[in-house]
Structure 1
């Protein structure tokens, strides 16, 4: 749009960069390729990457669900939460990554405005479920290993309640744009949909919704993760110091430390760019920015469907051995399962002095 011209505000989209037109509808991301926003090569690279995320994310998360259904030994309280994480990730990869792959390949959102709202809602829902599941996993590890409640035992019923909690919170976060608090529109290079954080419009109150998402769905889970894992590391280090001669305790401490680092880094890589850029836009209205910089955080958040299962599932010996067995490559299932169970028992016995 040219500066100084009065522009209409379309109901279903908004392209927040200067465009050489008086009628933004003629450049609708639902009607024409968005070649004016980036080169064709950029669109095709992102389409290829989204295809990779779709195939890998769908495969790993679907396999996680199938393994949990098939093998009874995987139905522990922690694995119920991992299963919930896989369902959220599967929703993101099947809907978000697939739709983005198709849209990037033709350089515009070919599915139309209604599909955009559906995709934006489902991806936000799945993303929030997986995000809150990460916080619940951290909370569960804190309860089981640090034992802040003394003799309290975390049971499968508690895990199921926590899974329900993640879906309730995810619905609280993802439903408002369908009812007028913000809206779901094409974002970045206009080939995937998410909440509108671009326009200043009292009708949608986008600023308050973005601040709500940042606080409720990023800051709170991140604070939970950092607190729980910091307490976990402190407890394990104290146990390792008290049992300096125990090789198994020292090994458990090193393994958990490494896992915690991967968990926190994975969370930040997936969600920090998206949350930070949304907050920056809200606090810098009118500042120019490259839409490709908006697309990268969106792609990173969808990539969580791959990062999360690699960190939380494939590095879990029980899940890994069951997956290999299901695919006909398992030979050391019993050994791995025994080793995993011994490690879990060793770590779970650690408690404050």
Structure 2
């Protein structure tokens, strides 16, 4: 099976035929998606686009409406919703349109922008999830007092998440790896398949510091919360057991969805980088890419709509 994807090189002969030299030429790439495959991906991305936009927009409106929700930790939640909305606005529509047409539509510069924007907003979301887990752990352990300085700390954490993300997403523009077509040619990302020294080192650092490190922070923070709840259980057994079960379900759910949405993409990138050439086909790379975008739907449901404080505020208001 052969599918035509966009190659961002210029064919000099096109200018002789009266065609602009910036025209993109199609090259056949084996192992791509069939028309049915592109349609299935388009349906998935369409659902993610609509559901992700609506759920995150509702989350923002809820925080804006209920003054009782204006807490330092909820500012971090708001930052996660904001980064997810930006993915839905500046990323998903282009990959959705590309899947509908079976090819990339907005050229080389659009491809680089798409790769940069999705990486930027995605890493902000991942780092914010890690910060959120640690702040919850700090609140449970009473490591910090709740006062106005916490809002300054929350704003500092939010600004830090964006700065940290920029530190890791700008280098491809400066020669440390690059952004380009991904998978069947309907999305763009870091060029995982390039097995040069700069590309390999960048992918490895990105995996460790932007995917694995946030996961370890989450596991540590939520694990410490569970340990603290167990200690309380020795004093008030029945109440603590109920709370422990609730916390355990929450922790397992959050960590599981984090791994479900992001780890396949990270593992795919590592296999493409360190495995033999062509091991990760365009068809194989599609599923992890779609799962990563699905996080924009999962995050507001898990962290906002299943949040006891949010439910209490909305119920009391009604």
TM over 0.5: yes
Cα distance in structure 1, aligned partners of 2:38 and 2:193: 21
Deviations 1:270-318, CA, capped at 9 Å, x for gaps:
1110111111122113253321111111111111101111111110144
Aligned to 2:234, the other structure's residue is in SS state helix
Q: How does 1:63-82 map to 2 (within 5 A)?
A: 63-82=58-77
* 8 Å CA contact 1:30, 1:109 repeated in 2: no
CA RMSD of aligned residues (A): 2.4
Structure 2 residue aligned with 1:108 = 103
Bigger drift between 62-71 and 177-186 goes to 62-71
Deviation at 1:62, TM superposition (A): 1.3
Bigger drift between 41-50 and 95-104 goes to 95-104
Aligned to 2:237, the other structure's residue is in SS state coil
Structure 2 residue aligned with 1:240 = 233
Cα distance in structure 1, aligned partners of 2:122 and 2:180: 17
Structure 2 residue aligned with 1:224 = 217
Structure 1 residue aligned with 2:43 = 48
Structure 1 pair 112–11 and aligned structure 2 pair: CA distance change class (3 A): closer
Q: 1:310 aligns with which of 294, 301, 308?
A: 301
Structure 1 pair 103–227 and aligned structure 2 pair: CA distance change class (3 A): same
Cα distance in structure 2, aligned partners of 1:33 and 1:318: 54
Aligned to 2:140, the other structure's residue is in SS state helix
Aligned to 2:181, the other structure's residue is in SS state strand
* 8 Å CA contact 1:244, 1:250 repeated in 2: yes
Structure 1 residue aligned with 2:164 = 169
Deviation at 1:33, TM superposition (A): 9.1
Deviations 1:15-37, CA, capped at 9 Å, x for gaps:
xxxxxxxxxxxxxx955497851
Q: Does 1:208 align with 2:201?
A: yes
Cα distance in structure 1, aligned partners of 2:233 and 2:290: 40
Cα distance in structure 1, aligned partners of 2:89 and 2:49: 6
Deviation at 1:161, TM superposition (A): 1.1
Deviation at 1:240, TM superposition (A): 1.9
* 8 Å CA contact 1:53, 1:305 repeated in 2: yes
Q: Which segments of 5 or more consecutive residues in structure 1 lack a partner in the other structure?
A: 1-9, 14-28, 326-331, 336-353
Structure 1 residue aligned with 2:154 = 159
Deviation at 1:97, TM superposition (A): 1.7
Q: Which segments of 5 or more consecutive residues in structure 2 lack a partner in the other structure?
A: 1-6, 11-22
Aligned to 1:242, the other structure's residue is in SS state coil
Aligned to 1:185, the other structure's residue is in SS state strand
Q: Does 1:183 align with 2:178?
A: yes
Structure 1 residue aligned with 2:131 = 136
Deviations 1:205-255, CA, capped at 9 Å, x for gaps:
21111011011101211111111111111111111232114x3x3332222
Cα distance in structure 2, aligned partners of 1:120 and 1:101: 14
Aligned to 2:277, the other structure's residue is in SS state coil
Q: Does 1:294 align with 2:285?
A: yes
> Of Structure 1 and Structure 2, which has the larger fraction of its residues in strand?
2
Bigger drift between 52-61 and 308-317 goes to 308-317
* 8 Å CA contact 2:8, 2:108 repeated in 1: no
Structure 1 pair 321–191 and aligned structure 2 pair: CA distance change class (3 A): farther
Q: Does 1:255 align with 2:246?
A: yes
Cα distance in structure 1, aligned partners of 2:72 and 2:268: 36
Bigger drift between 116-125 and 276-285 goes to 276-285
Structure 1 residue aligned with 2:262 = 271
Cα distance in structure 2, aligned partners of 1:241 and 1:134: 30
Q: TM-score, normalised by structure 1?
A: 0.79
Cα distance in structure 1, aligned partners of 2:178 and 2:195: 12
* 8 Å CA contact 1:85, 1:130 repeated in 2: yes
* 8 Å CA contact 1:88, 1:126 repeated in 2: yes
| Alignment coverage as a number of residue pairs | 298
Structure 1 pair 260–12 and aligned structure 2 pair: CA distance change class (3 A): farther
